[in-house]
């Protein structure tokens, strides 16, 4: 089980442990001093001198950044799960985001910072060094791990479990079998939350061509009402047609869009599980954990369970606190990490 942040008052000489989940759409931070917060993974720089004066800041984060999209240069640094090749600006944005997150948990002046950072599995593979460099500037010691591994660590599911982290840009799969997962134990699907949004927007545009649904409105609606499986009556979305307000029942489209990712998730899970010995396959099927924002789609655990049933008995659980599961796991790892290991980093 993950250590709770029970340490009462830390002496100012004690290091501050920080767990960070660096996500495509959201990033969260949790620290051993009990502070925790999250921010949308947007970084923005004012476009010019005037914008900078107007905004009063040289750099903006999260919602604040998005709200001012007209006057800033807006970057979502891990847009596709990785830092794009050769984009110094994205690297800079990662650096700034990390710095911002660390500031949010208010380390004491001169306090040693030991951070564990979970990043999308694909980014770990492709951008490990860039991410290390980005964090290194602001932490005294640092461990970078893959996001689903951080979640698994936080669940204490170190062996006999599979974590499926349903994010915005990717769904990351990770099998834990008592060792640190290697590439072999992980898979990444690029059909995730953003795909559901696009799907839903497309369906709505097709079936209600007269109405307009913005990307943001569609995403928010999905986050509030997203479901799979049996419907629960009407779900109406507000829109306007020719200036007239109109309520449109979108329950069918919402279900269809949310369900669109399930076959791929189930198939990838099965393929990954099939890599292991038959006995272990059975065990894995019973210990599947859903994490990430997309795991909050109502009924998704049952639907995945259903899709996997034909391969044998299985159980799919959803983690309690998807928004912070990764950051909490990273913090647990940071706190469990022996001091002598930290000293080397």
Partner 1 sequence: MADIPAIARSLLFADVPSVSDPRSNKHDILQAVYEDNLHATTRAPQPRRTHRPVRQAPKSALPSPWRMAPVVLLAVVGVLLIGLITLNLQPEPPAPRSQASLRLADSPRLTPVAEPSARFDVPDLDRLPIAELFNLQVNTIVIDPGHGGRDPGALGPAGGQEKDITLDVALRLRDRLARRHGARVLMTRETDVEVALGERVAFANENDADLFVSLHVNSIPDASVAPLETYYFGLRADDQTLRLAHGENGAANYSVAEFNTMLQRAGNTVKFQESRHLAMSVQQSLVETVRQTNAEASDWGVKAGPFVVLLGVEAPAILAEMAAISNPDEEARLDTDAHRESLARSLEEGIAAYLQHRPLTNAPTLIPTHDGEEDH
Ligand X SMILES: Nc1ncnc2c1ncn2[C@@H]1O[C@H](COP(=O)(O)OP(=O)(O)O)[C@@H](O)[C@H]1O
- Site residues for ligand X per CB under 6 A: 23-26, 167-169, 193-194, 219, 222-223, 226, 292-294, 296-297
Q: How far is the CB of 212 from partner 1 (least distance, A)?
A: 15
Which is closer to partner 1, CB of 234 or CB of 275?
275
Q: How far is the CB of 233 from ligand X (least distance, A)?
A: 18
3 state DSSP class of 115: strand
CB contact burial 160-186 (16+ within 10 A = b; e otherwise): ebbbbbbbbbbbbbbbbbeeebeeebb
Binding at 113: pick from ligand X, partner 1, none (beta carbon under 5-8 Å per type): partner 1
**64: contact with partner 1 by CB under 8 A:** no
In angstroms, the CA 161 to CA 170 distance is 20
**312: contact with partner 1 by CB under 8 A:** no
Q: How far is the CB of 334 from ligand X (least distance, A)?
A: 19
Q: How far is the CB of 244 from partner 1 (least distance, A)?
A: 26
Q: Which range of residues in 39-47, 220-228, 236-244, 292-300 is near partner 1 by CB under 8 A?
A: 39-47
Which is closer to ligand X, CB of 19 or CB of 167?
167
In angstroms, the CA 29 to CA 167 distance is 17
CB contact burial 251-281 (16+ within 10 A = b; e otherwise): bebbbebbbbbbeebbebbeebbeebeeeeb
**Which long-range CB contacts under 8 A does 276-281 form with residues at least 24 apart?**
276/175, 276/177, 280/160, 280/177, 281/312
Nearest to 80 by CA among 46, 109, 122, 51: 122
- 10, 37, 104, 136: which one binds partner 1 (CB under 8 A): 136
Q: How far is the CB of 188 from partner 1 (least distance, A)?
A: 7
Return the axis-axis angle of helices 193-207 and 251-259, rounded to nearest 10°. Answer: 140
Looking at residues 87 to 126 of the shown chain, list those that interact with partner 1 (rule: CB under 8 A).
Answer: 88-89, 92, 96, 99, 113, 122
3 state DSSP class of 30: strand
Q: Are 193 and 293 in contact (CB under 8 A)?
A: yes
Which is closer to ligand X, CB of 26 or CB of 255?
26
| Residue 12, both tokens | 């100012």
Binding at 264: pick from ligand X, partner 1, none (beta carbon under 5-8 Å per type): partner 1
**144: contact with partner 1 by CB under 8 A:** yes
Which is closer to partner 1, CB of 294 or CB of 329?
329
Q: How far is the CB of 58 from partner 1 (least distance, A)?
A: 6
In angstroms, the CA 319 to CA 296 distance is 9
- 14, 74, 158, 211: which one binds partner 1 (CB under 8 A): 158
SS3 per-residue string spanning 33-51: CCCEEEEECCEEEECCHHH
Which is closer to partner 1, CB of 128 or CB of 238?
128
Q: What character string, x for contact with partner 1 (CB under 8 A) and - otherwise, covers 254-293? A: ---------xx--xx-xx--xxxx-----x--xx-x----
Q: Are 291 and 319 in contact (CB under 8 A)?
A: yes
**34: contact with partner 1 by CB under 8 A:** no
């Amino acid at each position: 089980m993950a250590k709770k942040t029970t340490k009462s008052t830390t002496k100012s000489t004690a290091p501050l442990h920080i767990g960070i989940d660096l996500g495509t759409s959201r990033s969260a931070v949790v620290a051993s001093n009990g502070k925790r917060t999250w921010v949308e993974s947007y970084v923005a720089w004012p476009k010019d001198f005037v914008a900078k004066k107007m905004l009063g800041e040289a750099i903006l984060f999260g919602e604040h950044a998005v709200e001012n999209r007209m006057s800033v240069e807006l970057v979502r640094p891990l847009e596709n799960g990785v830092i794009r090749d050769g984009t110094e600006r994205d690297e800079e944005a990662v650096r700034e985001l990390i710095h911002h997150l660390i500031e949010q948990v208010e380390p004491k002046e001169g306090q040693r910072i030991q951070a564990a950072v979970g990043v999308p599995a694909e980014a770990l593979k492709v951008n490990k060094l860039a991410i290390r460099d980005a964090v290194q500037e602001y932490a005294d010691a640092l461990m970078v791990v893959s996001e689903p591994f951080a979640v698994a660590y936080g669940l204490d599911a170190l062996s006999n479990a599979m974590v499926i982290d349903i994010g915005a840009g990717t769904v990351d799969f990770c099998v834990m079998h008592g060792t640190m997962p290697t590439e072999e134990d992980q898979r990444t699907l690029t059909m995730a939350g953003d795909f559901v949004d696009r799907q839903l927007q497309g369906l709505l545009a097709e079936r209600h061509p007269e109405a307009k649904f913005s990307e943001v409105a569609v995403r928010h609606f999905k986050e509030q009402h997203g479901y799979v499986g049996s419907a629960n009556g009407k779900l109406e979305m507000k829109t306007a047609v020719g200036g007239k307000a109109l309520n449109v029942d979108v329950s069918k489209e919402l279900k269809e869009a949310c369900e669109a990712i399930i076959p791929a998730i189930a198939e990838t899970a099965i393929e990954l599980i099939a890599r292991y010995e038959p006995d272990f396959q059975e065990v894995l099927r019973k210990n599947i954990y859903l994490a990430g924002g997309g795991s909050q789609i109502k009924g998704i655990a049952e639907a995945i369970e259903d899709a996997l049933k034909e391969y044998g008995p299985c159980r799919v659980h959803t983690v309690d606190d998807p928004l912070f599961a990764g950051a909490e796991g990273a913090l647990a790892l940071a706190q469990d990490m022996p001091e002598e290991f930290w000293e080397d980093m």
